[in-house]
């Protein structure tokens, strides 16, 4: 809603990540005790305990993998930066700081609280079974046992208590909140006189000397350069290439059809009506016997009047959902009903009525009223579909088998792609005018920043070697080589003269606009009561789209104690604006939810206090970061991304 709170909320959300996301997402904190075992390069220390380079790397890898699982389409290169790795280290240090503090304060979590949290917190819904127990299969997929998960969660809750007393108790007085919100949402009445650079273009006539001076200015050199580019050839190993080499016979297709028959059949469904005499399985035997006797009596009545089923259900069935519809349950498939009910329903013929059927809910009388589905599509009708599926599966298998060998082949025989082409019967592709960044509209490997980085790496450019096999998409490996390379170079003035002229005209027009704008501002400051002859307007921080940030910031930053106040706003190449602030008005009426705005303000204060407390804890726990070790990582990352 507004920049001040938005910036603070980003900090707060980062704090929430530290507080709420289970710590084992970033690092198994069980390693905190005895982390010196097998430690290598030390990058930081917390409370005398070392954080090693290996732990930092593993923490970053786990964080990237977690994000990729949640967002498979995200580019992993976003995390291969010094900034991303530094953020991981910061999170790791905060976790260690809070763990050490929790131990010193003897903070712990009881079994009861642990169970309540797991049973009720939505963040654990995905790993809860219907009976409330933990889904061991899902935990096993993450390499965790249920005991390990419980131990880590208990540790996490204890750690979170360190900050909860600060982050959850932010208090701001009404006076302070109102004063801040009044100032933030304030409106001002202002007169704006624009001196747009475009309006002065007709008044400037740059000379050839002006053009040459602009062209030769070192600060403008990059504007008139031809980018570096290369002519390349490359080869793609993917499912399409592997699929073309797959041979399939009719026997394979027929066997697949037989083994997956259920996929080519319409699910069989039944429609039934029932009369239920409720008797939960937990009732005493005598009570259940009475319910059964009542059901048997209704069955006898039904035998005398078979057409009275719907009426008997309306007046006697104790299933309120279906009784009003004469017992109709509509269509249902296998697995929708309890097994005894399903077995009987699927054993009846349409129009046939069952005897008394016992389930955990009581006693039922079932009548089958309709059935549908169960039809199987012929092999001929699904043959093309089956062939595509089988070909895809075999292609994936061949790709998995070939991937490692392809990677080794383009590396070991790096002076040519022929070996890979011949072995896997691939097609050699080529491209001209390839640059370091994907061209607009580029597709396939040429749209991959990773592949382009590999092509423009020093070894590929200098020695014309194959690039490593680069994963440019799921199930796709690409290797390429540079055939010709042209470095970035300055274009002759004659070739770019029109571009130079346009830029010089723009610069001189802006200079004229600023000169006249400043002169107008000086005149108004001499005679403040001058009528500018322009309709005033209202400006607030919530409505900046039309005016832009520079004008809004300048107008709202003018001293309200001296009105009218005049401000000159330099818009660079766009020109100049003179603003006359005439009145200060109350809050912008666009602020509809004042309560929400106040809550956000309070949250910003709470976050600031939390950050300050974290800073104090870092000092208390004697956090030390090895600047040389972290700088080495940054230098390595920068070199890799060159």
Return the domain boundaries, the chain. 3-170+602-640, 186-224+493-587, 229-240+408-487, 266-372
3-class secondary structure, 216: helix
CATH number for the segment(s) 3-170+602-640: 1.10.4030.10
Q: What is the pLDDT of residue 33?
A: 38
The reply to whether omega before 564 is within 30° of 0 (cis) is yes
211 φ/ψ angles, rounded to the nearest 5 degrees: -65, -45
Q: What is the pLDDT of residue 591?
A: 56
CA–CA separation, 236 and 302 (whole Å)? 73
Sign of CA dihedral 69, 73, 79, 83: negative
Q: What is the pLDDT of residue 512?
A: 96
pLDDT along the chain (642 residues), means of 10: 35 33 35 40 85 83 76 72 83 85 80 79 76 74 75 79 68 64 77 94 94 93 90 94 84 84 82 94 92 94 93 93 93 89 94 94 95 83 86 87 92 93 93 91 91 92 92 92 92 93 95 96 93 89 74 87 92 94 78 63 74 85 80 53 42
Beta strand 186-196 with 269-278 is unpaired
Query: For 309-467, where are the alpha helices, taking DSSP H only?
Result: 309-316, 320-323, 339-345, 379-412, 418-424, 449-455, 458-463
Stretch (H or E) spanning 77: none
CA–CA separation, 629 and 625 (whole Å)? 8
Question: If you search the block for the tokens 């290169």, which residue do you land on?
Answer: 77
DSSP 228: P
Fold equal for 3-170+602-640 and 266-372? no
For residue 485, what are the β-bridge partners? 230
Q: What is the pLDDT of residue 191?
A: 93
Q: At CB < 8 A and 24+ separation, what contacts does 633-638 make?
A: 633/43, 633/53, 633/56, 633/82, 633/85, 634/82, 634/85, 634/86, 637/80, 637/81, 637/82, 637/85, 638/82
66 φ/ψ angles, rounded to the nearest 5 degrees: -60, -45
Q: What is the pLDDT of residue 169?
A: 62
Sign of CA dihedral 560, 562, 565, 570: negative
What is the reported pTM?
A: 0.46
CA–CA separation, 354 and 301 (whole Å)? 14
Q: What is the pLDDT of residue 251?
A: 85
Question: If you search the block for the tokens 């049973």, which residue do you land on?
Answer: 119
Q: What is the pLDDT of residue 568?
A: 95
Assess if CATH 3.10.50.40 describes domain 266-372: yes
3-class secondary structure, 480: strand
Spatial neighbors of 182 by CB under 8 A, at least 6 apart, are 586, 587
Q: What is the pLDDT of residue 198?
A: 94
């Amino acid at each position: 809603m507004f920049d001040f709170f938005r910036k603070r909320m980003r900090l707060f959300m980062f704090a929430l990540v530290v507080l709420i996301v289970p710590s084992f997402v970033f690092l198994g904190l069980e390693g905190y005790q005895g982390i010196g075992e097998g430690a290598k390069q030390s990058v930081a220390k917390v409370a005398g305990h070392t954080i090693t380079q290996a732990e930092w790397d593993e923490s970053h890898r786990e964080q990237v993998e977690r994000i990729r699982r949640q967002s498979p389409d995200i580019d992993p290169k976003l995390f291969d930066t010094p900034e991303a790795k530094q953020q991981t280290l910061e999170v790791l240090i905060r976790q260690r700081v809070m763990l050490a503090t929790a131990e010193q304060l003897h903070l712990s979590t009881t079994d009861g609280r642990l169970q309540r949290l797991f049973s009720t917190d939505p963040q654990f819904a995905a790993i809860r079974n219907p009976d409330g127990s933990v889904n061991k299969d899902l935990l096993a997929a993450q390499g965790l046992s249920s005991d390990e998960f419980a131990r880590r969660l208990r540790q996490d809750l204890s750690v979170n208590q360190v900050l909860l007393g600060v982050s959850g108790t932010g208090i701001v007085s009404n006076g302070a909140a109102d004063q801040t919100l009044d100032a933030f949402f304030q409106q001002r009445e202002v007169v704006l006189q624009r001196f747009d650079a475009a309006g002065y273009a007709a008044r400037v006539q740059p000379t050839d000397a002006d053009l040459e001076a602009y062209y030769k200015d070192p600060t403008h050199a990059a504007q008139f350069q031809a980018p570096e580019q290369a002519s390349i050839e490359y080869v793609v190993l993917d499912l399409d290439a592997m699929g073309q080499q797959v041979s399939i016979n009719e026997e394979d297709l027929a066997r697949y059809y037989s083994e997956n028959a259920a996929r080519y059949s319409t699910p069989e469904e039944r429609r039934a009506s029932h009369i239920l005499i409720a008797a939960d399985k937990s009732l005493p035997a005598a009570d259940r016997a009475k319910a059964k006797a009542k059901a048997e009596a209704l069955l006898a009545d039904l035998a005398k009047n078979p057409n009275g089923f719907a009426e008997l259900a309306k007046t006697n069935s104790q299933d309120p959902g279906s009784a009003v519809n004469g017992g109709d349950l509509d269509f249902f498939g296998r697995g929708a009903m309890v097994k005894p009910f399903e077995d009987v329903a699927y054993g009846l013929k349409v129009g046939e009525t069952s005897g008394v059927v016992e389930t955990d809910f009581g006693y039922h009388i079932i009548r089958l009223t309709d059935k549908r589905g169960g039809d199987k599509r012929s092999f001929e009708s699904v043959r093309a579909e089956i062939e595509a599926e089988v070909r895809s599966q075999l292609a994936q298998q061949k790709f998995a088998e070939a991937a490692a060998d392809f990677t080794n082949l383009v590396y070991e025989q790096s002076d040519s792609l022929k070996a890979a082409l011949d072995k896997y019967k691939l097609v050699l592709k080529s491209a001209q005018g390839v640059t370091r960044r994907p061209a607009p509209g580029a597709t396939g490997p040429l749209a991959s920043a990773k592949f382009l980085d590999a092509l423009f790496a020093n070894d590929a450019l200098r020695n014309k070697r194959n690039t490593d096999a680069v994963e440019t998409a799921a199930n796709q490996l690409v290797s390429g080589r540079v055939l010709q390379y042209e470095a970035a170079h300055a274009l002759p003035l004659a070739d770019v003269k029109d571009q130079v002229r346009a830029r010089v005209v723009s610069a001189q027009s802006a200079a004229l606009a600023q000169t006249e704008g400043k002169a107008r501002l000086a005149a108004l400051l001499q005679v403040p009561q001058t009528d500018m002859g322009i309709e005033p307007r209202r400006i607030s921080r919530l409505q900046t789209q039309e005016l832009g940030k520079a004008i809004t910031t300048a107008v709202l930053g003018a001293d309200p104690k001296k009105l009218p106040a005049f401000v000159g706003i330099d818009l660079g190449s766009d020109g100049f604006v003179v603003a006359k602030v005439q009145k200060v008005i109350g809050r912008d009426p666009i602020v509809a939810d004042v309560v929400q705005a106040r809550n956000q303000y309070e949250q910003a204060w709470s976050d600031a206090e939390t950050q300050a407390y974290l800073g104090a804890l870092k000092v208390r726990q004697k956090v030390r970061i090895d600047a040389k070790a972290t700088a080495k990582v940054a230098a390595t990352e920068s070199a890799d991304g060159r």
